[in-house]
Structure 1
Amino acid sequence: MTAFTGTWRLLLLGLRTDRFKLAPWILIIAFFPATVYNSYSTVFATRQEAKELEQTLSTNPAFTLLIGPAHHLDDPFGFTVWRMQVFAMFFAALMAVFAVTRHARAAEDSGQAELVDSGAVGPHARLAAAVLLAWLASAAVALIVAGTLVASGARTAEAFALGSLIGGMGVAFAGVAAVTSQIGSWSRTANTLAAGVLVVSYVLRGVSDTLADSEWMLWTNPMGWGELIRPASERNVLPFVLLLAAGLVTAVVGGLLSRQRDFGGGLVGQRPGPARWRAGIWGHTATLNRAPTLIWLATFVFLGFVFGLVTGTMRDFYERNTFVRQLLAARDTTEADLTLTFVSMLLLMLALAGGTFGIQIAARFTAEEDEGHADWLLSTGLSRQGHFAPATAVALVAPAVTMSTGGVVLAVTAASTGAQVEVGDVARQALAAVPALWLTAAVGLAFVGAFPTLRWIAWLLVVYWLVLTLFGPLLKAPDWLLNTSPFHVIPRVTAPDAEWAPVWWILAITGALVAVGFAGYRARNIRGA
């Protein structure tokens, strides 16, 4: 028996068991570029309109930080690359990370891996099958992206270049997940570490695109390599090779590390809990969510600091941009207004990211139930409402604290660099986004409390809001559709005619959803391990 005995059978098993889990990822990521490509004639009546949009976008570097530089918008494929490449790479990487972690790490958490390894299976077979599964899914995304774009009228070389960079990101981060699956003691830890690498890569790419003379930073991270392929113009091969090489090397490293840890454990061991139950159910819930809360808080502090430094460079950007200088000279706007618009976009990015935090906490509550811990707690005389209340409080408070902290760090950092921005305005703008975070958390709580088997709908709804908020305005979606996203209706706090009615509606819906969660948890059966 070799180290890889059984890999092929485990791969076939993974394809069978994951077909309904991977299919939505593959189809959504793969078909969206063609949708954007075919919408070009709807978005722009003439090529001149596209050129004017490209010039307008040059005045707001927030879009560059968010989705990359806007080039070649007068061509349908160039517009598609600008709108899709960064986010398609991001979600392809997440797809690969979740697939590898699910089979390499989560299988050990649930005990399934112990049954598999007791058979005629080599020591590297499970990890190899998990990585190959993610690579196959990434290849499927690449081929479908290229095929649908060619069918829509795009040039073949360009279409396959875009598909390659999206699929290449999946290959690279499948390897990253192979490593993090050996480091963390639980699948949640492995996913968090891999997602952290992805976020750092995203930030480095955005900072490189925004700052002058910093293209070298693109060569330091996988997302930068993907952007350097430049499918609408140069179609460079070397960055694509780097993505594939990174995926292969990290997968090998993951295999080597897997021999250095105990089954069910990680290279970083889990610290044992206290001998006695601290502070009852509230202390128990706080302990369960302490690690993810600290990770999210550190992430938002880091992002706030980086975004604040970038905001401090805006004056140099305005001086370099001829169109902005003309606007300022004509007094059509002010430097402070442009800077606050930029900061508002950065805060929107933080809010969209933080929207998943509350759902993550709600999902942790369900995990406790699936593992049988809820039965133990409720057998002590703890009421259903008493069990659900601490999770609800943490799901609402923790995202608000992280968002507010990130906004304050951004404001203070930007002000310390001399940016034309008021700390109080930025802090209030960050607080204005908190109700949207509460609504996403409430959606997760409602499904966890009343319909736990359908909690995936909460994640799907967050993805819908993200796509609608980021892509809806440029794709000229109707106002009624845009207003279904709580992130789209966040008011501009410094505007004299700021509209606060949607915020009150969001708060009312949040309260109703939390009530649904409480009522549902009280009435339904408790699931156990």
Structure 2
Amino acid sequence: MTSTPVAPAAPAPAPDPAAPARSRGHDLAGTGVLYRLALRRDRIALPVWVYIGTGMVASTAFSFRELYGDEAARRTFTAGIDGNGSLRALYGPVFDGSTIGGLTAWRMGVFGAVLAALMSTLLVVRHTRAEEEDGRLELVGAGAVGRRAPLTAALAAALTANAALAALVAAALIGAGQAAAGALAFALGLGATGLFFAALAAVTAQLAETARAANGLAGAAIGTAFVLRAVGDSGSGAGWVGWLSPLGWAEQVRAFGGDRWWVLLLPLAGAALLTALARALVARRDLGAGLLPQRPGPAAAAPALASAAALARRLQRGPLLGWTLAFAAAGAVFGGVAKGVVDLIGDNRQMADVLARLGGQRGVLDAYLSSIATMLGMTAAVYAVQAVLRMRAEEVSGRAEPVLAGAVSRLRWAAGHLLFPLLGTALPLAAAGLTAGLAEGLALGGGAGGGGTGGGAGGAVGRMLGATLVQLPAVWLTAAVALAAYGLLPRRAAAGWAGFGLFVLVSWLGPILRLPQAVLDLSPFSHLPHLPGGGLTAAPLFWITALTALTATAGLAALRRRDLG
């Protein structure tokens, strides 16, 4: 028997020195495609965020130009702010009270930075952790897509959004006749803050296992940053605390008041470090898992979860609780500033003479509280749209299909979710009215400057509860528009945000730009009674509620007839 000769084994290939470079390149494979996909998916939401931020800054600048057209009036206005701790804690110090740009930077620096932070965190979590939670990232990752590509694409989309916000804000201020250097410094401060919190959201997306938890961690960081900055600006001698806050960094750029460009390095360096940390963490965890340990749930569901409405309540209760606590805190802050508003007027004889013709200090305070109530109503509309679009998230994730496969109709399933944008919105608004009224009553000890309506804290609570709850019809109509978009155009459900953006922009910019009344009437917030101080008329509330019912009915009818998915 002859043996068959065996060929010698081939020598092992020499290691390729270019392999590490190819591996690094493979980690980012598909980033460009995912970046374009992220911008396409957010082609409605991102412009709304950017336009709202730009509109807030532009409307503030135009308002100051209308109210304080000469430098003497502006300096008189800002003379009492430095010693007013409550206003400093809310808005920060005034670094330049002689220009419209300086006043705009004081009024919108902090809140513009908060808006950029919220926009950036929601965007990054949506395109990272939310994609993993819904299972779409697993399908995408099965192709030629690198491990770090989704994270890099989300951060690139956030960079684009913040760059657009900064460019439009700078253009708006320059268009208003302000110095280009100050406008650019202010705009870059907002954009750099947005980039910092985008990178922070990239880290929380690696830590948490759900998008809701990741957004919660990022939101808690934004709230902490606001508190630290408020402590540093309150004039309590702890100014160094403000430097611990990224929101304080945006303020310390001192746009129009010295333009300290080097401060921009702080948020940019922080964003770079957090991005490096997120990139390191994404490679050290399993797809779909978070680095923070998860508490296991019970083996069997509680009897309270035996219905579709109970399941919707379980899914929606966390966000509702978070919004309620945030509204309660915001109401306490805005109500506490009431004394600062009164003191600022009392220290300014020229302003007091002008405002006396508008109803005295009580009239001015009512006007301030009415504007706060309107702002809270518009913010509650954000929660309402989110609560409505939660149905779309349940549908595309496949979780709605098993529920509807049983003895649950679509209308019954939808009704469980719609309780929150329709009735649940009353809870955060009532919490804000309660805390704002208590803070106002305690701060003023009764009527404003002796010219109030009396009643102490109890009377103030009643006035503010009425002012916040009267916003509900407009909030409901905003939610109904989102429901109609979800029912009629499920793949374009984000168009619900376009309706919200239209209402907000018309309400804010319309009066300043002196738009025709027909345009102003497009926003339901323009029809609401101006409480406190104004008269309560039932007719606009009735018609807005009726329009809400018609719009919601159209959305539900479309949902009942269309295919799911």
- After TM superposition, the score normalised by the length of structure 1 is 0.83
Q: Give 2:441's aligned amino acid.
A: A
**Aligned to 1:341, which of 349, 363, 367?**
367
Asked if the contact 2:132/2:288 (under 8 Å) is kept, the reply is yes
- Residue-by-residue CA offset, 1:124-161 (whole Å, 9 max, x unaligned): 55434533443354345545665787799765533432
**Aligned to 1:14, which of 5, 23, 34?**
34
Deviation at 1:279, TM superposition (A): 3.8
Counterpart for residue 176 of structure 1: 200
Counterpart for residue 272 of structure 1: 297
Deviation at 1:455, TM superposition (A): 1.8
Structure 1 residues 5 and 401: CA distance shift in structure 2, 3 A: same
Give the match's secondary structure for 2:527. coil
Q: Distance in 2 between matches of 1:40 and 1:215?
A: 27
Structure 1 residues 258 and 18: CA distance shift in structure 2, 3 A: closer
Q: Give 2:34's aligned amino acid.
A: G
Deviation at 1:19, TM superposition (A): 3.5
Counterpart for residue 412 of structure 2: 386
Structure 1 residues 419 and 342: CA distance shift in structure 2, 3 A: farther
Asked if the contact 1:211/1:313 (under 8 Å) is kept, the reply is no
Structure 1 residues 140 and 482: CA distance shift in structure 2, 3 A: closer
Deviation at 1:49, TM superposition (A): 6.5
Counterpart for residue 333 of structure 2: 306
Structure 1 residues 49 and 129: CA distance shift in structure 2, 3 A: same
Deviation at 1:407, TM superposition (A): 0.9
Asked if the contact 1:436/1:486 (under 8 Å) is kept, the reply is yes
Q: State which drifts further: 31-40 or 511-520.
A: 31-40
Counterpart for residue 429 of structure 1: 467
Q: Give 2:380's aligned amino acid.
A: G
Q: Distance in 2 between matches of 1:447 and 1:137?
A: 24
Q: Give 1:233's aligned amino acid.
A: G
Q: Give 1:305's aligned amino acid.
A: A
Q: Give 1:237's aligned amino acid.
A: W
Counterpart for residue 504 of structure 2: 466
Q: Give 1:280's aligned amino acid.
A: S
Where in structure 2 are the equivalents of 1:187-266 lying within 5 Å? 187-198=211-222, 201=225, 218-258=242-282, 261-266=285-290
**Matched positions, count:** 526
Q: Give 1:282's aligned amino acid.
A: A
Q: State which drifts further: 294-303 or 485-494.
A: 485-494
Q: Give 2:463's aligned amino acid.
A: D
Q: Distance in 2 between matches of 1:352 and 1:290?
A: 21
Q: Give 1:180's aligned amino acid.
A: T
Give the match's secondary structure for 1:286. helix
- Residue-by-residue CA offset, 1:156-187 (whole Å, 9 max, x unaligned): 53343233223212211111111221232222
Structure 1 residues 306 and 158: CA distance shift in structure 2, 3 A: closer
Structure 1 residues 367 and 81: CA distance shift in structure 2, 3 A: same
Where in structure 2 are the equivalents of 1:141-156 lying within 5 Å? 141-142=165-166, 155-156=179-180
Q: Distance in 2 between matches of 1:215 and 1:482?
A: 43
Q: Does 1:282 align with 2:320?
A: no
Q: Distance in 2 between matches of 1:220 and 1:524?
A: 52
Structure 1 residues 363 and 264: CA distance shift in structure 2, 3 A: same
Structure 1 residues 342 and 34: CA distance shift in structure 2, 3 A: closer
Q: Distance in 2 between matches of 1:46 and 1:311?
A: 20
Q: Distance in 2 between matches of 1:355 and 1:38?
A: 20
Give the match's secondary structure for 2:407. coil
- Residue-by-residue CA offset, 1:98-139 (whole Å, 9 max, x unaligned): 342233312322334335656787765543453344335434
- Residue-by-residue CA offset, 1:183-238 (whole Å, 9 max, x unaligned): 32222332343244345545766787788988666534323322322332311123
Q: Distance in 2 between matches of 1:212 and 1:226?
A: 20
Asked if the contact 2:27/2:147 (under 8 Å) is kept, the reply is no
Q: Distance in 1 between matches of 2:74 and 2:516?
A: 19
Q: Does 1:100 align with 2:121?
A: no
Q: Give 2:210's aligned amino acid.
A: W
Asked if the contact 1:146/1:163 (under 8 Å) is kept, the reply is yes
Asked if the contact 1:312/1:419 (under 8 Å) is kept, the reply is no
Q: Does 1:295 align with 2:322?
A: yes
Q: Distance in 2 between matches of 1:305 and 1:185?
A: 33
Counterpart for residue 50 of structure 2: 29
Q: State which drifts further: 300-309 or 36-45.
A: 36-45
Q: State which drifts further: 283-292 or 334-343.
A: 334-343
- Residue-by-residue CA offset, 1:6-52 (whole Å, 9 max, x unaligned): 35434322332233346663697389859987998999699847875
Deviation at 1:474, TM superposition (A): 2.9
Q: Distance in 2 between matches of 1:325 and 1:149?
A: 29
Where in structure 2 are the equivalents of 1:342-381 lying within 5 Å? 342-381=368-407
Structure 1 residues 216 and 348: CA distance shift in structure 2, 3 A: farther
Q: Distance in 1 between matches of 2:52 and 2:524?
A: 25
Structure 1 residues 231 and 118: CA distance shift in structure 2, 3 A: same
Q: Distance in 1 between matches of 2:72 and 2:463?
A: 33
Counterpart for residue 450 of structure 2: none
Q: Distance in 2 between matches of 1:103 and 1:379?
A: 29
Deviation at 1:355, TM superposition (A): 0.7
Q: Does 1:504 align with 2:542?
A: yes
Give the match's secondary structure for 2:512. coil
Asked if the contact 1:209/1:215 (under 8 Å) is kept, the reply is yes
Q: Give 1:224's aligned amino acid.
A: G
Deviation at 1:304, TM superposition (A): 2.2
Deviation at 1:512, TM superposition (A): 1.0
Deviation at 1:429, TM superposition (A): 1.3
Deviation at 1:434, TM superposition (A): 1.6
Q: Give 1:453's aligned amino acid.
A: R
Deviation at 1:467, TM superposition (A): 2.6
Asked if the contact 1:5/1:120 (under 8 Å) is kept, the reply is no
Asked if the contact 1:314/1:419 (under 8 Å) is kept, the reply is no
Deviation at 1:292, TM superposition (A): 0.9
Q: Distance in 2 between matches of 1:444 and 1:46?
A: 36
Give ranges in structure 1 of 5+ residues lacking alignment: none
Structure 1 residues 452 and 89: CA distance shift in structure 2, 3 A: same
Structure 1 residues 48 and 307: CA distance shift in structure 2, 3 A: closer
Q: Distance in 2 between matches of 1:371 and 1:34?
A: 35
Structure 1 residues 58 and 343: CA distance shift in structure 2, 3 A: farther
Structure 1 residues 455 and 505: CA distance shift in structure 2, 3 A: same
Q: Distance in 2 between matches of 1:382 and 1:188?
A: 26
Structure 1 residues 9 and 44: CA distance shift in structure 2, 3 A: same
Asked if the contact 2:64/2:103 (under 8 Å) is kept, the reply is no
Deviation at 1:465, TM superposition (A): 1.9
RMSD between aligned residues? 4.2
Q: Distance in 2 between matches of 1:123 and 1:39?
A: 44
Q: Does 1:157 align with 2:181?
A: yes
Give ranges in structure 2 of 5+ residues lacking alignment: 1-19, 448-459
Q: Give 2:26's aligned amino acid.
A: G
Asked if the contact 2:358/2:364 (under 8 Å) is kept, the reply is no
- After TM superposition, the score normalised by the length of structure 2 is 0.78
